[in-house]
Amino acid sequence: LAFDAAGVLWGVENGADRLKRADLGGDIHQDNPAEELNKFDGAVGTHYGYPWCWTEYELPAEYGMGRGTVWAWPDTMNTFRNDDWCRTNSRLPELSMQGHSAPLGLTFFDKNAVANGPDEAFCSGIGGTFPSGRDGDLYIGFHGSWNRDIPTGYKVVHVPFDGPGGSPIGEVIDLFWHGGNGARWPSRVRPVDVAFDRCGRLLVSDDGAGFIFLISFDGTVSPSEESKETSEFSGKSSSDQSKTSLWLNAVVLCIAVLWF
């Protein structure tokens, strides 16, 4: 959960597992249900779907009705609580994301929250503040899948908004992810929460390897380039590298592995 600049609460939802519906192609769990980004600004009692309804991410072409379409969950589906009921009674997500990404922590970048006054000299000295053009944008930690044939997630994504307190525009953009083969990190990194520090740099916690990553701004790149231009930095080994957008640097801030 996170509040935007207008004081509106937003949240992410992890879709259920093992989704099968014979009338939609049988086993459709690889990409469905979609993970959801929801905006909680409705009246008390607004229904967001769970546990009777789910959101499409990608269905076979002959069955699908498009990303974001709401369907009834097979185990609770009946003549009353069916697809039509779900579409009439459920609030649509603001954004439908790849199934099994497992979104957890989220945070908005607020340029007005970046330190000033007594802390201004400190932050100017270390640099790394995210650019003001990202003001109001959302960042989400994807913990990663466990039951998808091709793993997905294990990264941090950037969700562009049309302005502070506004709405998402376009799709999610990978910001920080494993740079080797596949989504999983050999060192078991699994992002959990994200938060900006007082200097406008992004902190990422991880409960797989026990790292805390610090992501900071370093350079410029257009929004269209951000999703495709990458630079690598050394991880624990050559087979365990991470990637960030070209305009970012990322470092392991500390290791906090506890053994019990």
What distance in Å separates the CA atoms of residue 2 and residue 7, rounded to the nearest whole number? 9
Mean pLDDT over the full length of the chain: 86
Task: Identify the pLDDT of residue 126.
Answer: 77
What distance in Å separates the CA atoms of residue 206 and residue 197, rounded to the nearest whole number? 16
Residue 169 has pLDDT above 90, yes or no: yes
More confident position, 7 or 231: 7
Task: Provide the token pair at 141.
Answer: 């930690």
Task: Identify the pLDDT of residue 186.
Answer: 94
Task: Identify the pLDDT of residue 54.
Answer: 98
Q: What residues have CB less than 8 Å from 140, skipping those under 6 apart?
A: 12, 37, 103, 104, 105, 106, 156, 157, 159, 172, 194
User: Looking up tokens 């470092």, which residue turns up?
Assistant: 251
What distance in Å separates the CA atoms of residue 66 and residue 108, rounded to the nearest whole number? 28
What distance in Å separates the CA atoms of residue 9 and residue 5, rounded to the nearest whole number? 10
Cα–Cα nearest to 129, from 120, 142, 138, 140: 120
Ranges 159-173, 177-191, 228-242: which has the least confidence: 228-242
Task: Provide the token pair at 43.
Answer: 């009246």
Task: Identify the pLDDT of residue 257.
Answer: 33
Task: Identify the pLDDT of residue 127.
Answer: 76
More confident position, 243 or 151: 151
Q: Supply the DSSP string of 100-130, one letter for each residue.
A: T--EEEEEE--GGGS--GGGHHHHHHH--PP
Segment (H or E) for 87: helix 83-89
User: Looking up tokens 């439908």, which residue turns up?
Assistant: 96
Residue 112 has pLDDT above 70, yes or no: yes
What distance in Å separates the CA atoms of residue 213 and residue 217, rounded to the nearest whole number? 13
For residues 203-231, give the mean pLDDT.
70
C-alpha torsion sign, points 220, 224, 225, 230 = positive
Tell me how far CA of residue 131 lies from CA of 41, 127, 177, 221, 226, in angstroms: 28, 11, 20, 11, 13
Task: Identify the pLDDT of residue 248.
Answer: 58
Residue type, 173: I
Confidence of residue 131 (pLDDT cuts 50, 70, 90): very high
Confidence of residue 82 (pLDDT cuts 50, 70, 90): very high
Q: Percentage of residues in the chain with pLDDT exceeding 70?
A: 83
